[in-house]
Amino acid sequence: MMSPATPIQSPYFTLEQVADGVYAAIAKNGAGAMSNAGIIDLGEQTLVFDTMYTLQAGQALLDAAQQLFDRPVSLVGNSHFHMDHVGANQLFKDAAILSTKTTRTLMIERSKQFLEFARSNPGYPETVKQRLQQETDKQKRQELSDHLGDLLAMDASLSSVVPTPPTITFDGSLTLHGSKRTAVLIAMGNGHSDCDSVLYLPDDKVMFAADLLFVKSHPSLQTGNAREWIKILGQMNDQSFHKVVPGHGPVGEKKDVLALRQYLLELVEKAQALHVLTRSLEQIAIPSVPEPYAEWNVSSLYRQNLQHLLHQLSTKIMT
User: Which residues lie near Zn ion (CB under 5 A)?
Assistant: 82, 211
Phi, psi of 190, rounded to the nearest 5 degrees: -105, 85
Q: Are strands 37-41 and 46-49 parallel, antiparallel or unpaired?
A: antiparallel
Shortest spacing between CB 251 and Zn ion, in angstroms: 18
Nearer to Zn ion, 194 or 211 (CB): 211
d(CA 91, CA 75): 12
Residues 281-314 as b or e (16 or more Cβ within 10 Å = b): eeebeeeebeeebeebbbbebbeebbbbbbebbe
| CB atoms inside a 10 Å sphere around CB 276 | 9
Shortest spacing between CB 224 and Zn ion, in angstroms: 9
Shortest spacing between CB 193 and Zn ion, in angstroms: 6
Shortest spacing between CB 94 and Zn ion, in angstroms: 26
Shortest spacing between CB 119 and Zn ion, in angstroms: 21
Shortest spacing between CB 192 and Zn ion, in angstroms: 6
**Three-state secondary-structure class, residue 79:** coil
Nearer to Zn ion, 41 or 211 (CB): 211
CB-count burial class (<10 Å; 0-12, 13-18, 19+) for 113: exposed
d(CA 34, CA 54): 8
Nearer to Zn ion, 80 or 261 (CB): 80
Nearer to Zn ion, 84 or 204 (CB): 84
d(CA 258, CA 114): 32
Nearer to Zn ion, 82 or 270 (CB): 82
Nearer to Zn ion, 85 or 261 (CB): 85
